[in-house]
Amino acid sequence: EAQVTQNPRYLITVTGKKLTVTCSQNMNHEYMSWYRQDPGLGLRQIYYSMNVEVTDKGDVPEGYKVSRKEKRNFPLILESPSPNQTSLYFCASSLSLNSPLHFGNGTRLTVT
Amino acid sequence: QQPVQSPQAVILREGEDAVINCSSSKALYSVHWYRQKHGEAPIFLMILLKGGEQKGHDKISASFNEKKQQSSLYLTASQLSYSGTYFCGTVTDSWGKLQFGAGTQVVVTP
């Protein structure tokens, strides 16, 4: 089944404890992206990757890192999480920027 | 800068029509439309490309006005299943940013 898989679905952690949210797609998509969703603010782009060689910042990259070592995986890394990073996170992928985005099921992160 | 969606929310009765607007401060390469049900991931509805024609999917269609840097989503003869939050996503350059609006909550009542 074609899908974008995110793990974990739920995560509660403490301030400053490094964490990684994994994202994997099995559709051979070039484009991958991370979004955070907060009430009233919609989906805000954190980082995106046009292909394995090109990764760049979105609108809210502060406090996040990403890695695209292979086409299928695009993990989101929080080196030192803070409470303002409590949010719902979505990974998404597509063939290209002008193709439909396929979203993962989301990761609900709580930082205390 | 994120695109601006309007209205923020709309309540419809089954069978009624609605329009959701999406405006950008920059020239648009393409516009995406997605619908999200509560607790679920957004689902793709359609993409409108620069220079392309109006798209349609069942009784949901959209238009793209390049000069006005706007897109509109039309919900025709709404059904209960149309309830959810609708997001437009805009591509304003070829570098990779796909920015979403804050969303429009649609509630369709019997």
Amino acid at residue number A46: I
pLDDT of residue B53: 63
Do residue B99 and residue A59 have CB atoms under 8 angstroms apart? yes
Query: Cα(B110)–Cα(B108) distance, rounded to whole angstroms?
Result: 7
Name the least confident of A58-67, A86-95, B43-52, B78-87. B43-52
CB B9 within 8 A of CB A76: no
Say what the alpha-carbon torsion angle B44, B49, B54, B57 is, to the nearest 10 degrees.
Answer: -20
Token pair of B45 as six digits: 């509805």
| Total count of residues recorded for chain B | 110
For tokens 């990259």, the residue is: A61
pLDDT of residue B93: 81
Query: Cα(A5)–Cα(A23) distance, rounded to whole angstroms?
Result: 6
To the nearest whole number, what is the mean pLDDT of chain B? 91
Query: Cα(B60)–Cα(A90) distance, rounded to whole angstroms?
Result: 25
Residue A87 pLDDT > 80: yes
Q: Does A2 touch chain B (CB under 8 A)?
A: no
Residue with more model confidence, B93 or A85: A85
List the single best residue of B57, B64, B87, B100 to mutate versus A (max A Cβ within 10 A). Answer: B100
Q: Does A87 touch chain B (CB under 8 A)?
A: no
Chain B residues in contact with A43 by the CB 8 A cut-off are: 42, 87, 89, 100
Amino acid at residue number B76: T
Buried (b) or exposed (e) across B32-46, using 16+ Cβ within 10 A? bbbbbeeeebbebbb
Q: Does A89 touch chain B (CB under 8 A)?
A: no
Q: Does B96 touch chain A (CB under 8 A)?
A: yes
For tokens 């979505």, the residue is: A90
Name the least confident of A26-30, A78-82, B15-19, B51-55. B51-55
Radius of gyration of chain A, Cα coordinates, nearest whole angstrom: 13
CA distance A97 to chain B (A): 6
Residue A5 pLDDT > 80: yes
Q: Which residue numbers in chain B have pLDDT < 50?
A: none
